[in-house]
Structure 1
Amino acid sequence: MDLYTEFCRHTAELTPETGLLVAFSGGLDSTVLLALAARLAREQGCAVRAVHIGHGLQAAAEDWPAHCARVAESLGVTCQTIRVQVEQGPRVSLEAAAREARYKALAEVMQPDEILLTGHHLDDQSETLLLALKRGAGVAGLAAMPVRKPFGPGQQWRPLLACSRKQLETFAREQGLSWVEDPSNADDDFDRNFLRNRILPPLLQQWPSFNRTLARSAELCAEQMELALELAEQDLPALLNQAGGLSVNGLQALSLARRHNVLRHWLQQHGMYCSRSQLQAIWQELALARVDAEPEVRLGRRSIRRYQGFLYLPTDGATPHPLTSLSSGEWLHCGVGQLRLSPVTQGADLVVGLEPTRLHIAFQVSGLRARPAGRSGSRPLKKLWQEYGIPPWQRPHIPLLMQGSELVAALGLFVCKDYTPESDQPGWKLEWEPE
């Protein structure tokens, strides 16, 4: 396999306007990557630059920024060094903490018109898959590393993912490239190093195509992951209520695998990832709790709660703040969203007689009663919240459009009958966009 041909195959969609940002550690993989990117830039006229992240974790690394600068200069590329502080939290490995700090720094310096290139290769993919097996991961973990994925303001590409480390080393020696060797790579206390140094060599000696076989399994798992995602996206909308709650009855109607799939997808949409045992705990302790109970399960720093047969993910969110006056035609922010009142000649939401300067936004007004349009009588707001299925923790965040001491509308929920115009009448268009 010609390495440059393979590199060009994975970068064929690039345009001259697209810049390349190479994550440059100075090691073999990123040195080969930078040499390939520099050649592509010369031939196609696109911009390329390198960024070296200094973690400050070992004395040997102090000389690496100067080495990276020299190598980049010899290839006609500028190299920026960024030093980061690695903060290792509880149950977080040093490898994971360093990786998080590294990617955070890369995302901060990446420009919107750039693509981040990283030098992950076929051996890295095998290690990632084996580590996922060790953790007991599902198809998402077994899919290992994708060739492309969203990153920062753009995307991260791994154009060398189908190439072995041996191929990269052969290329580097043929091109006369120099690179640094990380002393920590010899430390088998790190899981990845243990696999790289002790496990994969005998496997490859016994089965030379083992890396490519693992990569094929990862690709198949990635396909299954895409199917699971498509299925979850089909299932989820029908299970959600207006307040974003997930229906317990709707989940019970699904098969176990399909239920876990949509529940996991719902949590991931909110930045929450859980194990299979945690999914089972959520179901047992929340969904199957007594009907009159209001249980809660903690998952990291977040909580999951149940109310009136729906699961919710309460969040502090933005702080609501009242608006003492409104202006016609302007978007106005009240902390939990924004609204706009505009005059219209037909299809109005509010009667024509309202004057925006007499309106204001309030939260948690005690003693209010309301008669939503289409209802036969008024009820206390607390009772209406229960009827609309609004969990107690969300009620303080509902903006109340008021005229004096009278409720005009609960934004996002209803307009009071006295302020609802006849169909196709002029009046005010009420637009509400929640955070």
Structure 2
Amino acid sequence: MININKITKKYKKFLIAYSGGIDSTVLLYKLIEIRKKYNIKIRAIHINHQLNKKSKKWSKHCKKICKINNIPFILKKIKINKPNLNTESKARKKRYKVFKKKLVKNEILLTGHNLNDQCETFFLAIKRGSGTTGLSGIAYKKKFYKNYLLRPLLKYSRKKIETWAKKRKLKWIEDKSNYNTSYDRNFIRHKIFPKITKRWNFFLKNCFRSIKLINSENKIINKFINPIIKKNLFLDKTLNIKKIKKMDIKIIYIIIRKWINIQGGKMPSLKFLKNILNTVIYKKKKKNPKIQLKKYEIWNYQDRLYWIKKKPKMKNYIIFWKYPFKKLKLPKNFGTLEIKNKKYTKKNFYIKKPKKSQIITIKFQTKKKIRIKNKKKKIKKIYNELKIPPWKRKTTPLLFYNKKFISAIGLFVTKKKYNKKEKNISIIWKKNIS
């Protein structure tokens, strides 16, 4: 017997992620079964990933079932660029973005994940070398933006769900790509689990039990770790590691995992955590070390960890500003520069208006020494004195009149004598990226 009545005690509005597969079909019909009794409202959303020749046919099937059962139906198409072995992950991200947009106030998102899915996820976490958070598996209930996401079938095996569906002669979609064992999850599902469950028929239940135990232990760990993170986390989500780096290594690993999760990053492997510890936190090689995690970089700057989106290399860029009183668009989505005659900036940041004969260029790097307060200094030393983080140094536009360095825009202005008779102006840098 499959019972999902518990969810109706607190919630009355549901949006079901309806793929048309057996799990979401059983979930839909269970909701239909209890709809009148508990006075609940149901809507269904179907995502067409456009990856299969039969995807249109599947969408029509789902629409037809909803129409027959008087359920409001939402159909949304998404496109996955360059399908590969990472397609499943890309599709999931896009899918959940659509769910977020379509949810209404007080509506709960429901998905048809089952016990087998839970155990497969557990195995995948072991393969990645995950910690307790990864091994906690799929959550039965989790906060989903301003709403909640529930998985009512999580404790039921695929076999039990199939039995329920066949008994009621339900029709569902069979996606042949679910049998493609080049995908890790399908390999576990079709090659590994049948052998394990044949030998130990109690395996799935015990797997579920282990996940619950890990979840319980994880909650206890969180009670200890969360106050440490809260105490050392700044409003910009940077992490003060002055005291943390003196703690036991295992505690540091947990803190860093959770900090990466706060940034929205994926859980790193133990090997990667060791690299963060040695390279970034303990600074074994560089003064301001960094490590890359996909599109992001983790920096240690003045004993604070920063999560920075990777910046493009701007070293060799030279941009000619032919029409200085027209807005200049910078490359690589770096925003725009605009000269204003009005005094928009601090007095120390005023520059002199360029002469018509002067060639104005923007660079992002210079080896010339700069005169500041009657002293010549390298730009690196000035950045250090101003406490400018390394990642900002490489992306700050540098203004030149002919070959004279005038300003690091928004940071400092040189004291060179130039254009004495010209008026003071301001340059505004509107950034597109952080």
Normalising by the residue count of structure 1, what TM-score does the alignment of the two structures yield? 0.68
For residue 186 of structure 1, report the CA deviation from its aligned partner. Answer: 2.5
Give 1:30-429 correspondences, 5 Å limit: 30-88=24-82, 93-240=86-233, 245-273=238-266, 274-289=268-283, 293-314=287-308, 362=345, 365-366=348-349, 391=389
Q: Distance in 1 between matches of 2:236 and 2:66?
A: 53
- The match for 1:412 is none
- The match for 2:5 is 8
How many residues align structurally?
Answer: 337
Q: Distance in 2 between matches of 1:393 and 1:298?
A: 13
For residue 281 of structure 1, report the CA deviation from its aligned partner. Answer: 1.5
For residue 243 of structure 1, report the CA deviation from its aligned partner. Answer: 7.4
Pair 1:272–1:42, CA change in 2 (3 A): same
For residue 262 of structure 1, report the CA deviation from its aligned partner. Answer: 1.4
Structure 1, gaps ≥5 residues long: 318-359, 368-382, 396-434
Pair 1:67–1:203, CA change in 2 (3 A): same
Q: Distance in 2 between matches of 1:186 and 1:270?
A: 35
Pair 1:11–1:288, CA change in 2 (3 A): same
Q: Distance in 1 between matches of 2:122 and 2:44?
A: 28
Q: Distance in 2 between matches of 1:11 and 1:365?
A: 63
Residue identity over aligned pairs, in percent, reads: 30
Contact (CA 8 Å) 2:59, 2:75: kept in 1 or not? yes
Contact (CA 8 Å) 2:4, 2:152: kept in 1 or not? yes
Query: Which residue type is aligned with residue 72 of structure 2?
Result: T
State the Cα deviation string for residues 255-294 of structure 1 (Å, max 9, x = none). 1111111122222222233222222222222232269822
Structure 2, gaps ≥5 residues long: 312-342, 351-380, 394-433
Q: Distance in 2 between matches of 1:54 and 1:21?
A: 16
Q: Distance in 2 between matches of 1:316 and 1:197?
A: 39
Secondary structure class of the residue paired with 2:54: helix
State the Cα deviation string for residues 217-269 of structure 1 (Å, max 9, x = none). 11112223323333221112444568765344312321111111112222222
Q: Distance in 1 between matches of 2:166 and 2:234?
A: 61
Contact (CA 8 Å) 1:229, 1:265: kept in 2 or not? no
Q: Distance in 1 between matches of 2:150 and 2:233?
A: 35
- The match for 2:375 is none
Q: Distance in 2 between matches of 1:169 and 1:292?
A: 58
Query: Which residue type is aligned with residue 5 of structure 2?
Result: C
Q: Distance in 1 between matches of 2:388 and 2:237?
A: 10
State the Cα deviation string for residues 186-215 of structure 1 (Å, max 9, x = none). 322222222222222232222222111111
Query: Which residue type is aligned with residue 147 of structure 2?
Result: G
Pair 1:311–1:198, CA change in 2 (3 A): closer
Query: Which residue type is aligned with residue 8 of structure 1?
Result: N
